[in-house]
């Protein structure tokens, strides 16, 4: 499939077990937070397709660049918060990345990646830490990431802090959708909703 690029304006318990439902929108951590709406590009590569906030990997290919994502504008310095809810509607594959924070500059590349295995385990791709379990087909999961670019990146699942990762550098950007990790494959369909951004 040829690559297409469209530029548009963008707008559980302590055990880690997720519960089905529609988690309410709410920023985490103490403010004051200022809402903003960064621009984004849509990336479709390999067998990846995007239809608004529905992201699909339509093949079971275990190699190459298979992605269906939104890539948001670069931010520099300060503290940024992302919020979004995802619901996996089908997952014939495994180890599919759902949310990413990328670094720009001399050390450009994936800084932090949240992925899901077929059984519903959410994990950090770098290091392999389990972040939560129960992200099974049909379950809605709210994700918040809080990133102080100079100190650390914190991940919340359904409002509970689940992961902390040290950070250094100045320029980063957010991505979400469905992306085949180096050890993963599709097919997969993921629907995102309630996307919001804040800064302070």
pLDDT value for 18? 54
* CATH number of domain containing 146: 2.60.120.200
Residues making up the chain, counted from first to last: 200
Q: What pLDDT, in 10s, does the model give residues 138-181?
A: 999 999 999 999 999 999 999 999 999 999 888 999 999 999 99
Residue 101 lies in a domain: yes
Residue 15 lies in a domain: no
> What parts of the chain have a pLDDT lower than 70?
1-25
Q: What pLDDT, in 10s, does the model give residues 55-65?
A: 999 999 999 99
Using DSSP bridges, classify how beta strands 67-72 and 40-45 pair: parallel, antiparallel or unpaired.
Answer: antiparallel
- Count of structural domains, the chain: 1
36-68: b or e for each residue (b if 16 or more CB lie within 10 Å)?
eebebebbbbbbbbbeebebbbbbebeeeebbb
Residue 182 lies in a domain: yes
Q: How many CB atoms are located within 10 Å of the residue 104 CB? A: 16
Residue 4 lies in a domain: no
Find, among 123, 111, 129, the residue nearest to 167 by Cα: 111
pLDDT value for 105? 82
Host domain of residue 68: 34-199
The pTM (predicted TM-score) of the whole model is: 0.86
């Amino acid at each position: 499939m040829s690559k297409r690029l469209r530029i548009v304006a963008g707008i559980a318990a302590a055990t880690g077990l997720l519960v089905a439902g529609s988690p309410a929108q709410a920023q985490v951590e103490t403010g004051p937070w200022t809402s903003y709406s960064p621009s984004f590009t849509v990336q479709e590569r390999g067998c990846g397709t995007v239809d608004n906030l529905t992201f699909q990997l339509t093949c079971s290919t275990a190699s190459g660049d298979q992605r269906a994502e939104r890539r948001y504008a670069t931010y520099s310095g300060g503290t940024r918060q992302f919020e979004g809810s995802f619901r996996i509607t089908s997952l014939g594959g495994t180890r599919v990345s759902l949310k990413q924070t990328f670094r720009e500059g001399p050390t450009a590349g994936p800084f932090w990646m949240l992925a899901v295995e077929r059984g519903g385990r959410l994990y950090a791709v770098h290091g392999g830490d389990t972040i939560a379990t129960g992200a099974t087909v049909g379950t809605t999961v709210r994700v918040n990431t809080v990133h102080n670019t100079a100190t650390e990146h914190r991940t919340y699942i359904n409002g509970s802090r689940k992961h902390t990762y040290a950070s250094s550098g100045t320029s980063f950007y957010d991505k979400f959708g469905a992306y085949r990790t180096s050890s993963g494959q599709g097919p997969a369909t993921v629907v995102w909703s309630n996307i919001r951004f804040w800064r302070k």
